Amino acid sequence: MSAIPGRKHPPRARLAATHPVARAPFSQRRPVAATAHIANRPPQPRREEGQPMLDRSQVEAAVYRVAVAAFTYYPDRPNAEPGYTLDEDLDWCLRPLERLPQADLEALRERVRALITDTGADRQAFIRHLKSLTDSW
């Protein structure tokens, strides 16, 4: 079948000629779009109650960031890692939620601080609260 001894498959040129459904050349395929992270989108439209809608991906990004910060935190971390501050972690965790009103953001900041530092904190209530801020769930 092949001109090279020990080769089981024919060369690609013959394969394409014998199979009517050949794949389009790479230059003709649709390119994969490289988009910015969805958590950095422009402000979302406001709900009728005045509360801005959050995108599901923004909520997921915030939950992920809180989980990472809580998992990597330990009480002696500021002493063990010079330059580390809990406020930097809080800013990073809340960055996807910047479009919320300042009062709500400050309340969430204190709640996230408790979630990171207290290993026994109830994280499911926090996740339910964030899910309530979006319409897509």
Q: What's residue 32's pLDDT?
A: 45
* Structure token digits, residue 31: 């390119």
Q: What's residue 104's pLDDT?
A: 92
pLDDT digits 0-9 by tens, 29-45: 544 443 444 455 555 55
Instruction: Evaluate whether 116 touches 77 at the Cβ level (below 8 Å).
Output: no
Instruction: List the domain boundaries for the chain.
Output: 1-137
Q: What's residue 33's pLDDT?
A: 44
> Hey, is 49 helix, strand or coil?
coil
Instruction: Evaluate whether 92 touches 69 at the Cβ level (below 8 Å).
Output: yes
Computed over every residue of the chain, the mean pLDDT equals 78
* Structure token digits, residue 52: 């801005």
Q: What is the pTM of this model?
A: 0.62
Specify the higher pLDDT residue, 15 or 59.
59
In a 13 Å sphere around the CA of 49, the CA atoms on its Cβ side amount to 6
pLDDT digits 0-9 by tens, 90-111: 999 999 999 899 999 999 999 9
**Three-class SS of 94-136:** HHHHCCCCHHHHHHHHHHHHHHHHCCCCCHHHHHHHHHHCCCC
Provide mean pLDDT across the span 65-89.
94
* Rounded Cα gap, residues 18 and 14, in angstroms: 6
